[in-house]
Amino acid sequence: MTLHENAPKLKVIIIGGGLVGSLSACYFGKHGHEVHLYELREDIRKTEMAKGKSINLAMSNRGRKALRAVGLEEEVLQQAIPMKARMIHNKDGTLHQVLYDYQNQQCIYSVSRKHLNELLLTAAEKYQNVKTHFNHKLISADLENGNVTFELQDKQVVTYEADLIVGADGVYSAVRKQMLKMPMFNYSQTYIDHGYMELVIPSTHDNQFAMLPNFLHIWPRGTFMLIALPNQDRSWTVTLFMPFNQFALVKTQDEILDFFQQNFPDAIPLIGRKRLVDDFLSSKASTLISIKCQPYNVGSHSIIIGDAAHGMVPFYGQGMNAGFEDCRLLDELLTKFNWNLTIALNEFSTTRNPNAQAICDLAIYNYIEMRDLVAKKSFLLRKYIDHILHKVMPNTWVPLYTTVAFTDMEYAQCLRNKEWQDNVVSQVIIISKATLAVTFLGIVTSIMCLTKFDYIKTYFS
C-alpha cells in the first residue's frame, strides 16, 4: 500500500540502524516519505559483528508477517534454518524432542542477525527517498518539536528537523533517554541476576552439522541452561545462560572443564576442549535487562518502537518479532488515520503498551520453562494435555506458545488465555487425582472386605 494522494508527505528521521530501524525505514520508504536513518555505529555491512551481541535469532510468524508487508519475507527465509522442535539434552546423554506445534507442524526459523540487518539496510536504500547516515551520535533532542542534534566523528555538531522522529535505537535508547525528561513519562528497568555467554559448535570435518539441524537444542539444568541454534555455515551458536554468581565460580581451565563435564558432558566433544576453554576465558558474561515504559510517543512528533520501547529478555524469542510487529502496526495505524500523526501515535502508544508489557512478562516465564520445566514430567504432561485439547477444540483451546509464535493474537490476550488455561488444567489435575484416590480407596476397601469375608468364612467353617 502506497501513500494516499491526499495524505501529507512527511520528513521522517529514524534513530537507529539496527533490525527495527532499518525495517521501519522500508515501511516509510514505500509510502514515498523523505526518510533519513541515523546510526551511532559504522555501517554493519563493513564491519565485524560486535562481540556480546546475539549472533542469531529466532523468527516466528509476527516477524514474517511484518517482512511480508514490504516484500522481504521470502528473501529472508532463503537464508534461514527451520526449527520444528526443542531437542532436550538430559544429563545422562539421552535426548527427547518437544514439538512447537503438534497440530500443524509449524516451525520457527534461525536467522543471522548480521545478515538480516545487512539485508534490511540494503532494502531500505533501494528506495530513492531513503538515505542512511552512519557514525551519528544523538546528543540531544526537542521531541515536542521534532528537532534532533548529532555529534559526528570529527566532533562537529549538526541539528536536523523532521515531522516525525522514530526512536528505534535499542534497549539503551538515546531517544528514550530524552523522553525521561518529559513530564508523565513512566519508566522501569529490571536486570535479572542471570547473564549469558556465547560459544560455538563448529561444523564437522566433512562440513556437516554436528547435531540434528532442524531443532533448537536445549540443555536444561534447573537454575541455568545451554541452548544452541543452527547457522547457515553448519556451525551452531551456543549460549550459556547462568546466574552471575555461578559464572564467578568458573574462571580457570580446570573449573570450566569440570563444570561442563558435570552439567553438559555431551557438549564438550561438540565444541572441542581447547575451543571451549579459549572462548570461555576470552568472553565475559553479558547482562540481560527488561524495559517497560509509557507512553511511547511525545505528542505528534516522536515515538519509540522495538527494544527502545519494550526491551525484553530473550527467552521467548520475541524481541525482534515484537519490534518488527511494531513497524507493521504503526504503519497500519498511520495509513488508517491518513497520516494524522496526533491520532495515530496516540493510538499506537495506547494499544501497544499492554501487549508489550505482556510479552516482557511472558519472556521471564519462558526462561523458567526452558531452564527447568522442560526437563520435568509435569511439563510434558501439560504439553500432552494442550495437544489433546487443541486437537479436540482447535478454535477454543490454543496453547500459549502457539498463540505467541504462530499467530498475531495480541500478546495481552495470549497471557489472559494462559491464565484461564492454567486454571482449567489445575482443576483437571485436582479432579483426576481425586478420582484416582477415590478409585484406589474403593479398590482397597473391596479387597479388605473380601479378605475379611474370607477370614470369617474360614473361622466358622
Q: Please report, for the domain that includes residue 35, its CATH number.
A: 3.50.50.60
Calculate the average pLDDT of the chain.
Answer: 91
Per DSSP, the residues of 147-174 read EEEEE-TTS-EEEEE-SEEEE---TT-H
pLDDT confidence of residue 455: 42
CB-based contacts of 220, cutoff 8 Å, min separation 6: 88, 370, 371, 372, 373, 374, 375
Task: Please determine, for residue 1, whether its predicted confidence score (pLDDT) is greater than 50.
Answer: no
**What CA–CA distance (Å, rounded) separates 430 from 416?**
21
Task: Please determine, for residue 383, whether its predicted confidence score (pLDDT) is greater than 70.
Answer: yes
Task: Please determine, for residue 397, whether its predicted confidence score (pLDDT) is greater than 70.
Answer: yes
- Residue, of 438 and 414, whose pLDDT is higher: 414
pLDDT confidence of residue 334: 98
The answer to whether residues 335 and 433 belong to one domain is no
The answer to whether residues 362 and 436 belong to one domain is no
The answer to whether residues 391 and 243 belong to one domain is no
Instruction: Tell me how many helices (H) and strands (E) the chain has.
Output: 15, 20
Query: Is 431 within a domain?
Result: yes
User: C-alpha grid cell for residue 100?
Assistant: 512447537
Task: Please determine, for residue 457, whether its predicted confidence score (pLDDT) is greater than 70.
Answer: no
**Which DSSP symbol is given to 461?**
-
Edge-to-edge order in the sheet of strand 11-15: 130-133, 34-38, 11-15, 164-167, 302-304, 297-298
Element (H, E) at 88: strand 85-89
pLDDT confidence of residue 375: 57
Task: Please determine, for residue 444, whether its predicted confidence score (pLDDT) is greater than 70.
Answer: no
The domain boundary, picked from 281, 308, 342, lies at 281
Contact criterion met (CB below 8 Å) for 278 and 256: no
- In 3D space, the residue among 231, 207, 239 whose CA is nearest the CA of residue 81 turns out to be 231
Query: Is 87 within a domain?
Result: no
Record the pTM: 0.90
Strand blocks (E) in 129-274: 130-133, 137-142, 147-151, 157-161, 164-167, 186-191, 194-201, 215-220, 225-230, 236-243
Assign 416 a pLDDT band (cuts: 50, 70, 90).
Answer: very high
The answer to whether residues 263 and 395 belong to one domain is no
Assign 7 a pLDDT band (cuts: 50, 70, 90).
Answer: confident
pLDDT confidence of residue 10: 97
Q: Among 145-154, 221-230, 302-311, 420-429, which stretch is predicted with the lowest mean pLDDT?
A: 420-429
The domain boundary, picked from 370, 396, 411, lies at 370
Q: Among 31-45, 261-275, 391-405, which stretch is predicted with the lowest mean pLDDT?
A: 391-405
The answer to whether residues 47 and 122 belong to one domain is yes
The domain boundary, picked from 260, 281, 302, lies at 281
Contact criterion met (CB below 8 Å) for 294 and 350: no
Task: Please determine, for residue 442, whether its predicted confidence score (pLDDT) is greater than 70.
Answer: no
Burial class (CB in 10 A: 0-12, 13-18, 19+), 41: middle
Query: Is 2 within a domain?
Result: no
**What CA–CA distance (Å, rounded) separates 20 from 170?**
9
Q: Using CA atoms in the order 301, 306, 308, 309, what is the torsion angle rounded to 10 degrees?
A: 70
DSSP-derived 3-state class of residue 297? strand
The answer to whether residues 229 and 274 belong to one domain is yes
Domain containing residue 32:
11-81+108-187+292-370
Q: What's the domain count of the chain?
A: 3
Does 295 sit behind a cis peptide bond, omega within 30 degrees of 0 on the bond before it? yes
DSSP lists the bridge partners of residue 157 as 151
The answer to whether residues 307 and 357 belong to one domain is yes
pLDDT confidence of residue 26: 99
pLDDT confidence of residue 437: 59
- In 3D space, the residue among 265, 208, 218 whose CA is nearest the CA of residue 96 turns out to be 218
**What CA–CA distance (Å, rounded) separates 450 from 334?**
78
The answer to whether residues 112 and 133 belong to one domain is yes
Task: Please determine, for residue 3, whether its predicted confidence score (pLDDT) is greater than 50.
Answer: yes
Mean pLDDT, range 183-196, rounded to an integer? 95
Query: Is 5 within a domain?
Result: no
Query: Is 98 within a domain?
Result: no
**What CA–CA distance (Å, rounded) separates 108 from 239?**
18
- In 3D space, the residue among 92, 81, 316 whose CA is nearest the CA of residue 211 turns out to be 81
Assign 456 a pLDDT band (cuts: 50, 70, 90).
Answer: very low
Query: Is 232 within a domain?
Result: yes
Assign 23 a pLDDT band (cuts: 50, 70, 90).
Answer: very high
Query: Is 91 within a domain?
Result: no
Q: Among 189-203, 388-402, 437-451, which stretch is predicted with the lowest mean pLDDT?
A: 437-451
Task: Please determine, for residue 440, whether its predicted confidence score (pLDDT) is greater than 70.
Answer: no
Hey, how many other C-beta atoms are within 10 angstroms of the C-beta on 33?
24
Q: Which residue has the cell 546510526?
A: 39
Query: Is 86 within a domain?
Result: no
In the chain, pLDDT over 90 holds for what percent of residues? 76
Q: Among 13-27, 40-54, 97-111, 220-234, which stretch is predicted with the lowest mean pLDDT?
A: 40-54
Burial class (CB in 10 A: 0-12, 13-18, 19+), 149: middle
DSSP-derived 3-state class of residue 32? coil
Q: Report residue 174 CA to chain centroid gap.
A: 22
